[in-house]
Amino acid sequence: MNTATIKTKINTAQPTSVEQAEKESVYSTRQLNLWYGNNHALKNIDLEIGENEVTAIIGPSGCGKSTYLKTLNRMVELVPSVKTSGEIQYRGRNIFESSYGVEELRTRVGMVFQKPNPFPKSIYDNIAYGPRIHGIKNKKILDEIVEKSLRGAAIWDEVKDRLNENAYGISGGQQQRICIARTLAIEPDVILMDEPTSALDPISTLKIEELVQELKEQYSIIIVTHNMQQAARISDKTAFFLNGEVIEYDRTDAIFSNPADKRTEDYISGRFG
Amino acid sequence: MRYIEQEKVVRRMNGRMVVNRVFQGLFMFATALALLALVILLYRIVSQGAGHLSIDFLTNFASRFPDQAGIKAALVGSIWLMAVVAPTSILLGVGSAIYLEEYAKKGRITTFIQMNISNLAGVPSVVFGLLGLTIFVRALALGNSILAAGFTMSLLILPVIIVAAQEAIRSVPGELRDASYGMGATKWQTIVRIILPAAIPGILTGSILALSRAIGETAPLIVVGIPVIIQFLPEGVMDTFTALPMQIYDWSSRPQAEFQTVAAAGIIVLMVVLLFMNSIAVFIRNKFDKSY
């Protein structure tokens, strides 16, 4: 008991942490550097990401925000010639450890992509895909997971009568919520969202934003967004990225009302980006 | 200051329209010429051979009397040949395509292999015949059997199948791969559950078109030493056989004029087989086609 409290105290003493005392951190990134070939895309990133919070990552195009997000579940390694240094601790374990399988990590850390990307299968099969690849074959259990996930993504009522229809037949906003439900079906701990509303109309966007608010009760959410109003509306903390560096990371209200750095202020007031 | 002067535009308009028409006409002429050649060919074959077509023609063995000559041995032989070529070439071809697209690291060696596969698709079929003669007939001592000819034909169409399957696999959107990997699926699960089902129409269409080529090829069979006149049906893959194009080639090279009609009838049978295979390809494409 005592040693545990001491450890937490040591952790909170880290200068990079923000309000560590309140919530445990899910991810701690330390001195992360990433190169695409010779292009130094992420520079000395230090970030602590809290549990059951929505963390928004904002910044102009090419600032490395999507790259950072994809590093958190190691999807970035699908790009050839990526090199990293430093470490990312997920729940106390370095995700770059050679013994840490990417498949295991990605079962804990789900991802929702920029463009809705359902599989060309039925809605049911889309949701059941994750549980099936992890070995669940029992039809009854699958049925339950599908319903629970679709309810979790607030789309059950809209699709419950057409579970066997192709997921391509529904609207883009619905497809994106199917993709969120598909992610919920692997029962993740963290959900990464890479500009999930950039391809959607305002009403669908609103629905996804409301959904994010509900989901943070159970999940830790990290969302990359181009839309500063969106970050202000839905997130608890915001990190501002510029040219591969974290310029500022703080509570969202602090960032938007009283930015510490001039560049953050310029960006959120629309002077560039 | 304006750069586009309306007067000049109007003045030049007629000339532009003429050039536009000329090219339209040129392209239509090219299409019409190709169609005309096809129609003449079909007319000549059908008018010459239709008279000889009958049930007897399909059920008789070859004969030195034109009116008794039938195509039974060749038709059955061609079906045997396809039974060897289809599984061999599709399994090897799709396997290679999956390796090249999903597993192989992009680098100099992969580029080199890729270049060679594309070049192999253009190598004359008689060269593949020589390869088959050296390896399958002689070195592996398979003789002039269905197996030896089938393997030779498989090699011949393998590059075509690999390239077609690669293109089909490549056209599966990357977002689907991302979605699958993002949920913790392994590479193999992603290939079997996502990539192959989405790529199967393209793979099968390419494969069937390649098989159609194999069923019409003569040169490799001649080099491998496939006989023409056969009075029995093969009973296994180690038996010797004859095939449709061999039989047609033999008939058309005989001096008697009557055999020309027999050859034409044989060509009609071959064309019906080809048409049947191509329509399977079209059917599969339409049935499985999914838009992304």
ipTM for the assembly: 0.86
B175·A115 Cβ contact <8 A: yes
B182·A75 Cβ contact <8 A: yes
B193·A129 Cβ contact <8 A: yes
Span A4-35, pLDDT tens digits: 444 444 444 444 444 444 567 899 999 999 99
Tell whether A233 lies on the interface with B, counting CB pairs under 8 A: no
* Chain A residues touching residue B292 (CB < 8 angstroms): 120, 168
Q: Is the pLDDT of residue B141 over 60?
A: yes
User: What is the C-alpha separation between A146 and A131, in angstroms, rounded?
Assistant: 9
Q: Is the pLDDT of residue B287 over 50?
A: yes
* Chain B residues touching residue A80 (CB < 8 angstroms): 105-106
Nearest to B120 by CA among B76, B156, B150: B156
Helix/strand/coil (H/E/C) assignment for every residue in chain B: CCCCCHHHHHHHHHHHHHHHHHHHHHHHHHHHHHHHHHHHHHHHHHHHHHHHCCHHHHHCCCCCCHHHCCCHHHHHHHHHHHHHHHHHHHHHHHHHHHHHHHHCCCCHHHHHHHHHHHHHCCCCHHHHHHHHHHHHHHHCCCCCCHHHHHHHHHHHHHHHHHHHHHHHHHCCCHHHHHHHHHCCCCHHHHHHHHHHHHHHHHHHHHHHHHHHHHHHCCHHHHHHCCCCCCCCCCCCCCCCCCCHHHHHHHHHCCCCCHHHHHHHHHHHHHHHHHHHHHHHHHHHHHHHCCCC
Name the minimum distance, in Å, from the CA of B88 to any CA of chain A.
29
State the average pLDDT over residues A113-132: 94
pLDDT at A273: 62
Q: Is the pLDDT of residue B251 over 60?
A: yes
Nearest to A210 by CA among A173, A157, A182, A240: A173
Note whether A80 and B105 are within 8 A (CB). Answer: yes
B193·A103 Cβ contact <8 A: no
Tell me the residues of chain A between 173 and 192 that have a Cβ less than 8 Å away from chain B.
Answer: 179, 182-183, 186
Percent above pLDDT 90 for chain A: 80
pLDDT at A16: 46
Structural domains in chain A, sorted by start: 22-268 (3.40.50.300)
State the average pLDDT over residues B141-167: 94
* Chain A residues touching residue B181 (CB < 8 angstroms): 75, 78, 102, 106
Q: Within a 10 A sphere around the Cβ of A190, how many other Cβ atoms?
A: 22
Bridge partner residues of B12 (DSSP): none
* Residue A48, H or E segment: strand A39-50
Count interface pairs A-B at CB distance under 8 A.
Answer: 70
* Chain B residues touching residue A133 (CB < 8 angstroms): 180, 183-186, 189, 193
Note whether B226 and B240 are within 8 A (CB). Answer: yes
Q: Strand, coil or helix: what is A207?
A: helix
A133·B181 Cβ contact <8 A: no
DSSP for residue A187: -
Nearest CB to A106; choose among B175, B182, B197: B182
A133·B193 Cβ contact <8 A: yes
A129·B183 Cβ contact <8 A: yes
Span B78-121, pLDDT tens digits: 999 999 999 999 999 999 999 999 999 888 999 999 999 999 98
Span A140-155, pLDDT tens digits: 999 999 999 999 999 9
Note whether A110 and A190 are within 8 A (CB). Answer: yes
A133·B105 Cβ contact <8 A: no
Tell whether A75 lies on the interface with B, counting CB pairs under 8 A: yes
Percent above pLDDT 70 for chain A: 91
State the average pLDDT over residues A119-124: 94
Q: Strand, coil or helix: what is A111?
A: strand
Confidence of residue B168 (pLDDT cuts 50, 70, 90): very high
State the average pLDDT over residues B189-206: 92
Q: Is the pLDDT of residue B5 over 90?
A: no
With both helix axes pointing from N to C terminus, report the angle between B244-252 and B196-216 in degrees, rounded to the nearest 10: 30
**Nearest residue of B to residue A106, measured between CA atoms:** B184
Interface of B to A at Cβ within 8 Å reads 105-106, 173, 175-186, 189, 193-194, 197-198, 290-292
Q: Is the pLDDT of residue A234 over 90?
A: yes
Confidence of residue A3 (pLDDT cuts 50, 70, 90): very low
Tell whether A113 lies on the interface with B, counting CB pairs under 8 A: yes
Note whether B161 and B93 are within 8 A (CB). Answer: yes
State the average pLDDT over residues B146-164: 95
Name the minimum distance, in Å, from the CA of B91 to any CA of chain A.
25
Bridge partner residues of A110 (DSSP): A191
pLDDT at B51: 85
Tell whether A234 lies on the interface with B, counting CB pairs under 8 A: no
Nearest CB to B183; choose among A80, A110, A120: A110
Give the pTM. 0.82
Task: Write the CB contacts of B153 (distance below 8 Å, at least 6 apart in sequence).
Answer: B81, B84, B85, B89, B128, B214, B217, B220
B183·A80 Cβ contact <8 A: no
pLDDT at A21: 46
Lowest mean pLDDT among A184-198, B251-265, B275-289: B275-289
Q: Which residue has the tokens 């838009």?
A: B291
Name the minimum distance, in Å, from the CA of B27 to any CA of chain A.
38
Nearest CB to A134; choose among B184, B197, B290: B184
A186·B175 Cβ contact <8 A: no
Span A70-108, pLDDT tens digits: 999 999 998 888 999 999 999 989 999 988 999 999 999
Name the minimum distance, in Å, from the CA of A118 to any CA of chain B.
7
Nearest to B122 by CA among B94, B156, B89: B156
The mean of the pLDDT values for chain A is 89
User: What is the C-alpha separation between B267 and B246, in angstroms, rounded?
Assistant: 11
CA A181: distance to chain centroid?
14
Q: Is the pLDDT of residue A138 over 90?
A: yes
Span B15-65, pLDDT tens digits: 999 999 999 999 999 999 999 999 999 999 999 888 888 888 888 888 888
Classify strands A25-36 and A82-90 as parallel, antiparallel or unpaired.
antiparallel
**Nearest residue of A to residue B105, measured between CA atoms:** A80
Span A212-232, pLDDT tens digits: 999 999 999 999 998 889 999
State the average pLDDT over residues B201-227: 90
